[in-house]
Chains A and B, each alone.
Chain A
Amino acid sequence: MSQGRPHLDALPSGASRTGQDAWFFCLRILGGRYAFEAGLVTEVVRLGPLTRLPAAPSFLPGVFTHRGEVLPVLDIGQMVGQGAVAIRASTRAAVVHCGPWKVAVISDGLEGLVVIPHRNLEAPPAESSGMAEFLSGVARDKNGTIAVLDLPRLVEAARSRAVPYGSTSA
């Protein structure tokens, strides 16, 4: 394997790849550009009125109805302790499937699909706090730096970190 390729091993196993390129879905969260494997995204929807849930963690600001289906909203900024994504009438969400979980990821803005040559993917910084904990790589395109998230791992961490019903620490 060449010097430039080992970084690909850090990508999620299901990352969308075609030949020399990897496809990601890119969004902006709290001033940063983040991406995750494009194959996780089923659609982009406009966020409807939120129904807040009792005893919900901060990263779950509520649920909303889309074509008769009620979807939970995931605020990645809150999940990693970097602050809440502002929810406005114009806010859109990327509906993603991560294993058994279907969530609508909100952001400050959606860029959509980006194609990144494998050679432009690098290993994430060696940090283990905040968003860095869930990075699987870093890339650059003409618009700047993109931090590649391991979204399935982040969603699973959100689930496992939530204090379950019945815990005495709630």
Chain B
Amino acid sequence: MNEPVSELLMFQVGARVFASTVRDVVRIGNVADVPAAGLVEGTSLGPTFARERGIVVAAPEGGAESTLVVDQVLGVRVVPASEIQPLPAFASAVIRSGAVSSFVLFDEAPTLIVDLPTLVRERLAAAVTSPLPA
């Protein structure tokens, strides 16, 4: 019997490594190839250092694609779906983002799993009231 698995895209923002489900990703690209208007940065994941790679995320309901700026894309890891755990209840109840609700343990350290569409949506909504400095 085959255990269900999840494919996770591993990426780095600043010094921290995150994961997202591969199905949320349209493609990986270079930031330099994307018009500035299509880039999403300054998210709750923290500041980027190198700004080299972009993870292209499909927009909901047929909108334009968005490119999340990251520092590195580290590859794909396949984990049993059963190893993906929800955040502790208290943490879930107090964080101000819906983009992180689960994690997976790698070498006993929790790696946060980011819901990319939600992260992008939150950043774009926040940009309306607090745009990034030019």
Do A and B actually bind?
yes
Provide the B47-68 mask, 1 if CB < 8 A to any CB of A, else 0.
Answer: 0000000000000000000000
CB contact between B105 and one of A56, A68, A155, A167 (< 8 Å): that residue: A68
User: Please, which residues of chain A bring their CB within 8 A of the CB of B44?
Assistant: 54-55
CB of B131 within 8 Å of the partner chain: no
CB contact between A63 and one of B45, B46, B87 (< 8 Å): that residue: B87
Number of chain B residues close to chain A: CB under 8 A: 28
- B123–chain A nearest beta-carbon distance, Å: 11
CB of A31 within 8 Å of the partner chain: no
User: Please, which residues of chain B bring their CB within 8 A of the CB of A102?
Assistant: 88-90
Q: From DSSP, what is the main secondary structure of chain A's interface residues? A: loop
CB contact between A101 and one of B85, B90, B103 (< 8 Å): that residue: B90
Name the CB-closest residue of A to B99: A54
CB of A53 within 8 Å of the partner chain: yes
Name the CB-closest residue of A to B105: A65
Identify which of residues 112-148 in chain A touch chain B, using a CB-to-CB cut-off of 8 Å: none
Number of chain A residues close to chain B: CB under 8 A: 31
Q: Are A65 and B96 in contact (CB under 8 A)?
A: no
- A76–chain B nearest beta-carbon distance, Å: 13
User: Please, which residues of chain B bring their CB within 8 A of the CB of A72?
Assistant: 87-88, 90-91
- 5 A-B contacts, Cβ less than 8 Å apart? A51-B109, A53-B87, A55-B96, A57-B94, A102-B88
Q: Knowing that A57-B94, A102-B89, A158-B94 are A-B contacts, what are 7 other residue pairs whose CB atoms are under 8 Å apart, sorted by A's residue number?
A: A51-B103, A54-B114, A60-B91, A65-B105, A65-B108, A155-B90, A165-B98
Which B positions have Cβ atoms within 8 angstroms of A? Answer: 16, 43-46, 85, 87-91, 93-100, 103, 105, 108-112, 114, 126
